[in-house]
Structures are given as C-alpha cells and as structure tokens.
Structure 1
Amino acid sequence: MTYQPPYTLTSDIVSLVAAIAEQVGRLSLLPEQGLDLRLRRINRIRTVTGSLAIEGNTLSEEQITALLEGKTVLAPPRELQEARNALLVYEHLSSWGGSNETDLLAAHRLLMTGLLDHPGQYRASGVGVMAGDKVLHMAPPANRVPVLMRQLFGWLGSTREHPLIASSVFHYEFEFIHPFADGNGRMGRLWQTLLLSRWQPALAWLPVESLIHQRQAAYYQALNDSTAATDCAPFIQFMLTCIRQALDGLTPQDTRQVTPQVEAVLAVMRGEMTRHEIQIALGLADRENFRKVYLLPALATGLVEMTLPDKPNSRNQRYRLTVLGHQRQKMEPRTP
C-alpha cells in the first residue's frame, strides 16, 4: 500500500493556496519575472543567511556577500564552511530533481562536506531534536530511515496535490524522519524551495528562509504541533503564510500613489538602516513627522520592509528595500 502522510486541508490552507497562486500569477506582469541578476543575488544571500542563522550560524548578510565575492572573512572556520557549502548547494538547485532520492543525497553531500564524517549518507544511529536539556522530538530508529525515505519519495512522485501543499508536507515529513546525522533543517528547507521552483521557477529566488528565521520559534512550534496532532496541517499553514509574506515583496502593487516623500526614502536607502539613519540621511529633524509622512507610507507601499516584522519596536529593528523597492530605486533614481 502506498504511504499517505497524515494531513488535513483546512479552509485556511485552501485560502492561502489560492492567494499565493494569485500572487505568483502577478509575477508574470514583471519583465523576466522581475528578478534580474542583482536582485536574485540579494535574495539568495538573504536565503543562505536565514537558513544558516536558524541553525546557530552567526554570519551576517554582509559576511555572506563577502564570501560570495571571494573576499576574506574573519569568522569561525566551521561557520565559514557552512556558508560556502550552502552557497554552492543553492547554485546547483536547478540541476536536481525534487522526486529523486539520489539527488537529495548528493545535495546533502555538498551541504555537509567538511562538516560530517559521512555526508550524503543516512544516519546510522538514533537522533533527537533538543531544546537545551529537553527532548522535543525523538526521530525514528536509524534502521527505519531508508524505508521511510523511500516511502516519502514514493508519495511525492505520485501525489496529485498542489505543489504548495506537497512541498510543505514533504518538508514536515522530512523533519519528522530526520534522516541525517546533521543538516536536516537546512535540507528540508532547501528541498521545499526546490519543489516550489519546479512549479514556478521564480520561487527558486524567494527568500522564505529569511522569514522563517524571523519566526523561528513559530517554525518549531508548528513542527511540534503537527507531531502532537499526527496531522501536519499546522506546519502547512505556517509555511504557506511565510511563502505568501515573502511574495508580498516580489509581486507588483499599485505604486502610482507613491508620494514624493516615499520616493525620497527610496533614494537614500542603502542596505539595512535604522530609523534614525534614514531620518538623518533625509536631513529631517522632526521624528514624528518622519515616521508618519515618510517611514509608515514607505512600509505601506511594500517597497520598504522591516528586518524584524514580528518585533516592530525592537531596538535591533532595521529597514531595507524589498525586491520591488530595489527595482523602483534603480528605475527612478531620485534625490531627497
């Protein structure tokens, strides 16, 4: 009998699928999917930085960028190896088949070279997911992993579910099985991106990892809730919500009403900036006027985003251009 992962398609999940499909359709309104090489590079750096940060890697976007450019970066050797491997893996994304187990093992080999004794091989011992001294999840025994992975790939190759659903289910089941000694989180997220890119190529450049990092506690909670319910609907809904929010920064919006003040904000934005840095760059003295007339309208257009959207008042909050913001800044350079 063919394996059938346990999941329920709730009305919220169905609504998210419809909304995302509509957003993806609007991508066709942008030339060449709206992602030139520079913007693809920005999103890839955000993806790699976010995925590694979830696993405790401390390298910043600036350091990942420097590595990509072949520059010397001072950081712990293991973290540098993790970053180099991740950048290489994402470069090879288009060469792998999502339903091919051999390709998954090859991807893990690239991802974990120099980090594990036997990369590209399923684990030979038990493993658990820990939070300090607390065991959050005990994965199935090692001798069951090959069978479980064959069953999962068998389901993936035969399912008629929408790719948004199928990729989320695979991601959850993969994390539940935890087939490798290390690198399971990175591989699960990588493979969902691969599956989505086979549906819509532009999604290969969607920085979902960055959003998951910002919502890391909710990510693990969704995994735990799905395991407790023996139904991965909570995880599906979480992932679809992240995908939809990531697409908000890619899909066209009505920017005909962008004010001169918002255009001024776009003109001064460089990388990630604090609210104070933007205000100083604009030469404004009145903080409240800056917030109401410049910053909030810029956020509302979807051209500027917070780096910590779940913590709007955080002292570590920064602001940066979305992909659409980068496009508008490049097409219509202004001075404040």
Structure 2
Amino acid sequence: MDPYRWSERIEPRLRQATERMRRLRGTRIPPSALRSLRHAFRCDHTYHSNAMGGNRLTLPETHAVLKDGIVIAGTPLKDHFEAVNLAHALDLIETRSREDTAPGEQDVRELHGIVLRGIEPLDAGVYRRLNLRMEGTPHVPPEATHVPEAMRTFGAWLAGVRTEHPVVASSIAHAWFAAIHPFTDGNGRTGRLLTNLLLMREHYPPIALRVEDRARYHAALQSSHSSDITALVELTLDGVERRFDEYERAAGEVLEPDMEASRAETPTRFSRWYEAARALHEALREVAARLEVRAPESGRPRLQTSELAALTEREWAPLQETSLALFSIRGQHQGRQVEIFFHSMPPVPDAGAVPPGIRMTAPSPERIALKYFSSAVPTGHTFSVSRDGLDAEVEHGVSALTLATELWTYAITEYLSPR
C-alpha cells in the first residue's frame, strides 16, 4: 500500500495538540469529574457512532439503555443491542489501551465480534466471504479472498513501532481499515473504535465523531482512498480539541475532593473482576430479552435476572476465602420454573495469582448436566471456563455473551421445556 500523506498546514495544530496533552497530563482533575467525563463520553460515542450507521436511538434513549438497561418501546431490538455492544467495546479498548502489548489483527476481530454479538453471530469477528462495492464511492475494497492477507499486513503495522504523531497514526489506522472493509457489517463502528484505541494508548482522550458531521466524514474517507488523509486528520483533531476543552474546563473547576473516587481512579484487580461479573450479568439480561421477544406471544417464557450484588473494594479481600451470592436467573414457562444461582468462588489453592471465580449452581443437583454447569474465572472481558466432569478441562477466551447464551439455553431445555 502506498504511504499516506497529509498537508503541512496541519502541523501547527498537531504541535498545539501535543502541548495541550503535555499540560493536561501535569494537571490534577478531580476523580469525580473524570468519572463524569468518562460516563458522558461512553454515551456520546455510542450514540454518534451508531447513528452514523442508521441506528434510530436518540441520545437520551441511548443514555437510558446504557444506564438503566431498558429496552425502548417501539424500537427494534437490534438498535438496543448495537448500543449495549458498542459500549462494551469501548470498555474493552479502555482496558487494552493500558496494556503494554500493542494491538494487532486479533484485537480488531475481537472488537468486531463484540460490535456484532447477538446481532449477526455468523459474521461477528469473521472476515467477509463475498466481494462488495461501497455505496457512494468509486473505491473498491480488496476481493474477499485477499482480505486475510490485507488484514495480516494491517495488523503487523498496528503492532509495530510508529513514528507519526498519535493523531496522524490513529487517522492512518482509520483510513487503512476503511479501505480494506474486511467485514460484512460493522466496519464503521470498528474503525472508529480503532481510532480511539490508538489515541488512548498515547494518553490522548478518545473522541466521538458526530453524526452531524457525517457528510464531512464520508468525504474525508473518500479522500483517504487516494492516500490523502489531511481531511481525516483535521476531523480527528476537531474531536481531540473538543475533548481537550472538556478536560480543561474540568481541571479549572473547584470541586470538593472525592477520596473514594480517588482510590478508584486507577483500575484495580477488584474493579476489573467486578466489571467482568457485570458484563456476564448484563449479557444474561440481553439474551433473556432476545429469547422472550423471539418466542410466540402465546407461549412466551418469563426470563428474569436478579440485581447484581453491589460490591466495594473493601469487600474484595473476603472473596479470596469465602463465597458470596452475586445474583440469580429465574425462568417460568407453562407451570415449570427454574432458578440458577451465581456465587463468587475463592481461587483454587496453589493456582498462582488467579482471581476468584463465579460458580453456577441449580436447585436440583441430580439433574444438572455437568457439561453446562461450571466455574468461570474472569480474565479481562472474557472467562476461563472449567467444565465439571470433563477432567478439569478449561476453555479460555469464552465471552460473556457465549456463556450467557449457553446458560439460558440449558435452563430452558432442561427445566422449562415439556418432557
């Protein structure tokens, strides 16, 4: 691929961005303000990025979906899943941005898998198998048979050492990925996530490309197909500068210190573990909602997930030695019912630095299909699953959605279906 080029006229803005980033890193922003900025951005990016692709949720509706977990009446369930998925993908890149290992091709596929999970499961994280033409542009992406090779090259660049300004490097990644267009759907959302991953790895704030700039954004991508990324860099700089403004305003506000938030500012082993438990909890709710909607109204099961137990850092230490009830799932259908309980499980002795697991139990032990009931140890945003009765075989990299789908499928098949 020919190297990308950009106009020298943007160099002063790039230098200014570097200076503003330097000043911000030396400024203490109250943790409560940082938390507020993060939550607001999570909603803004989710709304704008999804709206770029035609999602019909409004900004307030997106906020309600992410904050309260509700399904907006009269809105396709697909729009709801797109919001939840993209927010989870943002959580993942926030975690990955703090890791020492540079992102690569597999990270791109994992991000896309989250973007499309529960929507197009056969295409989630899978390269397209058909050739395509992109609407509104003469650019023709590589043929499907060439996509794996193109993505290997792109992934090697992602994982390599880059000398460009972080804003330029993130724009190159965005343009390059868009030119390959490796997936059947979800390329735009995944490309915008990649932009933010590269920015955050260099301590720049993530950005939300606004839906009202859609025409300008498409024009910038069109120019990038001719190797000129000037317009895309300028658009990215606009987003970075807006975020700088937000952070600088927060740094200038006089707020009371929030000691509890200060302790939580740096992610801990507990916060990472609890976020994984929350991801499983939310996935169980998502799958239940999808299964209920798909069932005929006359024979629709009632599938419920209880509230997740609220834990604090102070309660983390006891989890190393005792079990704690986290939540349960309950199903009712035509007079049949089942409740499955989820508990924390102390780490296995002599297993090294392994966090507590999550143990799943059912009310009738003699009827438990051991293939399905297991312990799941959170490992980032996936789980290492030990399946009882299989000689302690461990399956790594099991997503929360996969585990949730498996559990609800088991509950319905084993307990709620006629025998």
TM over 0.5: yes
How high is the TM-score relative to the length of structure 1? 0.66
Aligned to 1:307: none
Out of 184, 192, 199, the position equivalent to 1:196 is 199
Structure 1 distance, partners of 2:250, 2:65, is 34
The 8 Å contact of residues 28 and 251 in structure 2, kept in 1 or not, is answered as no
Aligned partner of 1:174 in structure 2 is 177
User: Structure 1 residues 231, 9: closer, same or farther in 2, change over 3 A?
Assistant: closer
Shift of residue 254, structure 1, vs aligned partner: 11
Match of 1:160 in 2: 163
Distance 1:73 1:31 in 2: 35
Distance in 2 (alpha carbons) for counterparts of 1:237 and 1:216: 14
Q: Which consecutive unaligned segments of at least 5 residues does structure 2 have?
A: 254-419
Match of 1:220 in 2: 218
Q: Secondary structure at the match of 1:36?
A: helix
Query: Contact conserved, 1:172 with 1:223, CA < 8 A, in 2?
Result: yes
* Greater fraction strand: 2
Spell out the pairing of 1:236-315 with structure 2 (5 A cutoff): 236-252=233-249
Residue 289 of structure 1 aligns with which residue? none
SS at match of 1:250: helix
| In structure 2, distance between residues paired with 1:162 and 1:88 | 28
2:210 alignment partner, SS class: helix
Q: Distance in 1 between matches of 2:152 and 2:248?
A: 37
Question: How far is 1:32 from its partner?
Answer: 5.2
Higher relative contact order (CA 8 A, sep 6+): 1
Deviations 1:176-222 (A, max 9, x none): 1101110000000001101111110x61xx4x32x432211000011
- Residue 142 of structure 2 corresponds to 140
Q: Count residues in correspondence.
A: 244
Query: Is this contact kept in 2: 1:57–1:79, CA < 8 A?
Result: yes
Output the CA distance in 1 between the equivalents of 2:164 and 2:131.
Answer: 32
Amino acid at match of 1:85: N
The CA distance in 1 between the partners of 2:82 and 2:250, in whole Å, is 36
1:18 aligned partner? 15
- Match 2:39 to one of 34, 38, 41: 41
Structure 1 gap ranges (5+): 257-336
Q: CA deviation at 1:155?
A: 2.3
User: Would the alpha carbon gap of residues 77 and 217 (structure 1) be closer, same or farther in structure 2, given more than 3 Å must change?
Assistant: same
1:185 to 2:188 alignment:
yes
* 1: CA distance, partners of 2:103 / 2:113: 17
Higher normalized helix content (fraction of residues): 1
**Letter matched to residue 183 of structure 1:** G
Identical aligned residues as a percent:
29
**CA distance in 2 between partners of 1:67 and 1:212 (Å):** 19
Q: Equivalents in 2 of 1:56, 1:253: separation in Å?
A: 32
Q: Given the superposition, is the C-alpha separation of residues 250 and 182 from structure 1 closer, same or farther in structure 2, using an over 3 Å criterion?
A: same
Q: Deviations over 1:35-88 (max 9, x none)?
A: 432221111101100100111111122112211222342211111111111111
- Using structure 2 for the length normalisation, give the TM-score: 0.54
CA distance in 1, matches of 2:114, 2:105: 15
Q: Pick closer, same or farther for the CA change 1:98–1:219 going to 2, 3 Å.
A: farther
